Amino acid sequence: MLESFPPSQLATQWECTIPGPLTVRLVARRGGPFKRWWIVCPRCTRRRDALYLPPGSTRWACRDCHDLIDGSQRHGFRHPLREVLTHRKRISLRREVVRQARLSARIRARQIDQPISGEAVADLEQVIAEVRAFGESLKRQREEQTRRREEATRQIEAQLTGEVGPTLERLRDLAASAKLKRNRERARRYLDFRG
């Protein structure tokens, strides 16, 4: 777009309009020794970095005019999805606990101006033991979830196995005695596919 304007004209002007299918008005603002060019929104006439044309809209405008939001703004701070402890969150939480413990031990050692004391080492060992206990509880939770999932799978398989016999019997009955030819053929196809 700016190729049609000579550099000397851009350097001396503070505002220019570029004609075309989308008329764009550029406004310059001085930021230190340089000019920064902004696009003026055609709806609200505010300076913007970019204009958007979302699906279903016919006019280019800024994010405020189209009420567009970032993906990170879709769920609020207290949304239930943010409280779920994913695997990555658990690992980062564990690392943060260890990092904080090491940091507090270093700070205590610097305050005393001596090597790390036995008390700081004991505190660090206690924190490490707590982190290990936390890891073991997570492992137990994961094993419990796996056991429940396997048990539910076995129950569903047993239920489906129990339903297969009556279903096949019903299909055989339909293939033999259904009133409509279409239903008889469909039942035979299912039986051929199954058999």
pLDDT in tens, 90-118: 888 889 989 998 888 888 777 766 566 67
Among 13-17, 24-28, 77-81, whose mean pLDDT is lowest? 13-17
Strands of the 15-18 sheet, one edge to the other:
15-18, 24-31, 34-40, 47-48
Q: What is the pLDDT of residue 1?
A: 46
pLDDT higher than 60, residue 5:
no
pLDDT higher than 80, residue 134:
yes
Residue 143's pLDDT band, with cuts at 50, 70 and 90, is: very high
Neighbours of 187 (CB within 10 A): 19
The pTM of the full predicted model, rounded to 2 decimals, is 0.32
Residue 2's pLDDT band, with cuts at 50, 70 and 90, is: very low
Neighbours of 119 (CB within 10 A): 11
Q: What is the pLDDT of residue 104?
A: 86
* Residue found by looking up tokens 């005019």 in the block: 65
Q: What is the pLDDT of residue 30?
A: 63
pLDDT higher than 50, residue 139:
yes
- For residue 25, the SS3 value is strand
Name which of 43, 68, 44 is nearest 54 in CA terms. Answer: 68
Residue 40's pLDDT band, with cuts at 50, 70 and 90, is: confident
Q: What is the pLDDT of residue 68?
A: 86
Cα(138)–Cα(171) distance, integer angstroms = 48
